[in-house]
């Protein structure tokens, strides 16, 4: 069984202080995909940011203290690729992909548009440029698992207050339509929903108004997989026993070997 985690840490140094690495050491997951590093390579040199028995790959943003993705893997990949070939993904450290031969696993941090129209425009541009890449991936022989923070809740079931958020970034009609196209036309699969169709399953909560305590959340973190892997999805978990950031770790088990 292959266990893959997606964790937006909202700063790896901050999450480490909250016990993230102690928990990861106990869990012994096979592949750990991190988003929002908020640190450069030299700031993560200390042993505290390494995991015994894991290969580590970092892709920080050029701008200090911002964005960035990483991947920790028990098995050494055949190769690791960073970036998607366009400026926003590459300069902001938003994508890293490990090729294991039998499967490719990637960590993605899609931009947020919640801070205003300018960032929403950046998010929309990212979506426009990323879709053709995903369409190519769908035709590749090697199956693909791309996990991470997509900053979009897909359906009404995926956020608590969907009625009042229809004009807010993260639940805009065109963002949701982008996921519709990805799932319904390109053929990728929302792995979590294959094994868990329950409501009130969220991965992110605002820091305002006791949202976490009241479970007023959004499901914006995903495992999106090639159709060939749909039958391999066995179990999903949103880990909430400890809180390392404003996101919860999203872990899926696959009937696969690297």
d(CA 203, CA 252): 13
**DSSP-derived pairing of the beta strands 233-238 and 55-59:** unpaired
Question: Of the candidates 239, 236, 234, which has an alpha carbon nearest to the alpha carbon of residue 249?
Answer: 239
Q: Can you state the angle between helices 173-180 and 117-139, rounded to 10 degrees?
A: 10
Which position among 45, 48, 52, 149 bears the catalytic label?
A: 149
**DSSP-derived pairing of the beta strands 2-8 and 31-35:** parallel
Residues 8 and 148 sit within 8 Å (Cβ to Cβ): yes
Q: Which sign does the torsion angle of CA 208, 213, 218, 221 carry? A: positive
Reply yes or no on whether 149 is catalytic: yes
Catalytic residues: 149
């Amino acid at each position: 069984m292959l266990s893959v985690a997606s964790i937006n840490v909202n700063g790896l140094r901050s999450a480490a202080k909250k016990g993230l690495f102690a928990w990861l050491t106990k869990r012994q997951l096979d592949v750990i995909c991190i988003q929002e590093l908020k640190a450069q390579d030299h700031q993560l040199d200390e042993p505290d940011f390494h995991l015994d028995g894991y290969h580590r790959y970092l892709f920080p943003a050029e701008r200090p203290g911002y964005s960035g993705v990483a991947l920790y893997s028990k098995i050494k990949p055949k190769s690791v690729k960073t970036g998607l070939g366009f400026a926003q993904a590459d300069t902001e450290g938003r994508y890293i992909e490990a090729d294991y031969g039998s499967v490719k696993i990637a960590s993605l941090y899609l931009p947020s548009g919640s801070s205003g129209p300018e960032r929403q425009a950046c998010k929309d541009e990212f979506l426009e440029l990323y879709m053709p890449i995903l369409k190519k991936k769908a035709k590749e022989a090697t199956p693909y698992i791309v996990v991470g923070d997509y900053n979009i809740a897909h359906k009404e079931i995926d956020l608590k207050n969907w009625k009042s958020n229809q004009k807010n970034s993260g639940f805009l009609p065109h963002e949701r339509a982008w996921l519709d196209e990805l799932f319904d036309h390109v053929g990728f699969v929302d792995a979590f929903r294959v094994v868990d169709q329950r409501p009130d399953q969220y991965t992110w909560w605002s820091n305002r108004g006791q949202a976490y305590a009241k479970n007023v959340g959004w499901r914006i973190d995903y495992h999106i997989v090639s159709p060939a892997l749909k039958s391999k999805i066995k179990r999903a978990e949103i880990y909430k026993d400890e809180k390392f950031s404003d996101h919860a770790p999203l872990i899926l088990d696959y009937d696969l070997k690297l």
